[in-house]
Structure 1
Amino acid sequence: MLFTFLLVVQAIVAALLVAVILMQKSEGGGLGVGGSPAGLMSARGAADFLTRSTTVLATIFVSLSIVMAVIASVRHAPSDIDTSLVRQAPASSTPAPATGNADPLGGAADSTANGAASAPAGNGAVPLAN
């Protein structure tokens, strides 16, 4: 219940933050430091107010994000792994063919040693060993 409330508050803060940022002037200097003696109703006073409100809203947004991350990590603490959905691999009815020779060129070397490939073939193939 608390997490849902904080999520709604964060959505409202995010919407306000976007609105305040979009209302600022785009000439740079929005994050300028310093005060002016002019009142809030002047252009500079309004810019200072928007800058301060952006800082406050951004701080609230980051703080809420950290608090919500802590709440989510505590609520969803790691638990045991559920193995109820694990299936066993089906047993194969035909075994895989066994190869007696691990070297794929081993048979070619044996046939060359017996003289089977001593004469060049008509297709221009080169014998492996003589």
Structure 2
Amino acid sequence: MQTVLIVVHLIIVLALIGVVLLQRSEGGLGLGGGGGGGVAGFMTGRGQANALTRATAILAALFFTTSMLLAVMSHRSAAPKSILDTGASAPAGQPAKQPTGADNLLDTLRQQQDRAPATAPAQPAVPEAPQSR
């Protein structure tokens, strides 16, 4: 479904680029031409402007709609998972301990800290840097 929507989105993007480039610019000559070339024989000036403006508005609305749909689909497929939902793996032979109301994560961490041996942290070795003379 997402692949189909991406293909439709790309077709809309290409059509939107084409329609915008066909419009006559206010300040100079766009790709639509100022009179002699382009699509001047296709419609009259006013009819061409109305049709291209309407097509631009429709394609822009479709572009924003497909963009939003792709964003929602991407967000739902990449939902974050909590590490608390998975639970910790228990050692072999012991059942996993189910947390109770009074036994929360902070208490568990404090108990593990109390059980840990009190050893001084190892000092990192100082790297020897080459000395210039």
Structure 2, unpaired ranges of 5+:
28-41, 84-120, 127-133
Question: TM-score, normalising length from structure 1?
Answer: 0.51
Q: 2:79 aligned with 1:77, yes or no? A: yes
Larger radius of gyration: 1
What is aligned with 2:23?
24
Structure 1, unpaired ranges of 5+:
29-39, 82-90, 97-130
Amino acid at match of 2:45: A
- Residues 93, 11 of structure 1: alpha-carbon distance in 2 compared, 3 angstrom cutoff: same
Number of residue equivalences: 76
Question: TM-score, normalising length from structure 2?
Answer: 0.50
> Which of 56, 59, 64 pairs up with 2:58?
56
Runs of 4+ that moved beyond 4 A:
91-96
Amino acid at match of 1:6: L
Secondary structure of 2:79's aligned partner: coil
What is aligned with 1:15?
14
Deviation string 1:50-73 (CA, Å, 9 cap, x unpaired) is 000000000000010011111111
For residues 105-120 of structure 1, the aligned pairs below 5 Å read: none
Amino acid at match of 1:18: I
User: What is the CA–CA distance in structure 2 between the aligned matches of 1:21 and 1:10, rounded to whole Å?
Assistant: 16
